[in-house]
Chains A and B, each alone.
Chain A
Amino acid sequence: MTGVLPVTLGEATKVVQALLYSGKEYVCLMKLHGDVQENHVKRVLKEFENAIYQRPPLRASVKRQLRIRRIYYLDFFEMDRRNVLFTVGCEGGTYIRKLCYDVGEVLGCGAHMQELRRTRAGPFVENESVTLHDVFYSFTEWQESRDEALLKKFVQPMEHALALVPKIYVRDSAVDAVCHGASLTAPGVLSLESGISAGSLIAVFSLKGEAVALAKAVASSEQILDINHGVVANVERVLMPRSTYPKCWKSGEKTDE
Chain B
Amino acid sequence: MPRSVAPWETSQELLVKAEDRTNPSYGHKPDERPAEEYLKYGVINLDKPAGPTSHEVAAWVKRILKLGQVGHGGTLEA
Contacts and interface: CB of A to CB of B under 8 A. Distances in A.
A245 B20 CA distance: 15
Interface residues on B, range: 35 or more
Contact of A7 (B6, B33, B38, B46): B46
A123 interface: yes
Interface in A92-119: 92, 95-97, 113, 116, 118
User: Chain A binding site: helix, strand, loop or mixed by DSSP?
Assistant: mixed
Contact of A148 (B8, B35, B49, B67): B35
Interface in B54-74: 54, 57-58, 60-61, 64-65, 67-74
Nearest to B48: A5
Contacts, number: 257
> Most chain-A Cβ atoms within 10 A of its Cβ — which of B40, B42, B65?
B42
A30 to B, nearest CB: 11
Nearest to B47: A129
B15 A6 contact: no
Interface string A1-33: 111111111111101100110111100000000
A244 B26 CA distance: 6
A191 B14 contact: yes
Nearest to A6: B73
Given A5-B57, A139-B64, A146-B35, A191 B40 contact: no
Contact of B42 (A16, A156, A175): A156
Interface of B: 1, 3-10, 12-23, 26-31, 33, 35, 38-50, 54, 57-58, 60-61, 64-65, 67-78
Interface of A: 1-13, 15-16, 19-20, 22-25, 49-50, 59-61, 70-73, 89, 92, 95-97, 113, 116, 118, 120-126, 128-132, 135-136, 139, 142, 146, 148, 151-152, 154-161, 164, 166, 171-172, 175, 189-195, 206-211, 221, 224-225, 240, 244-246
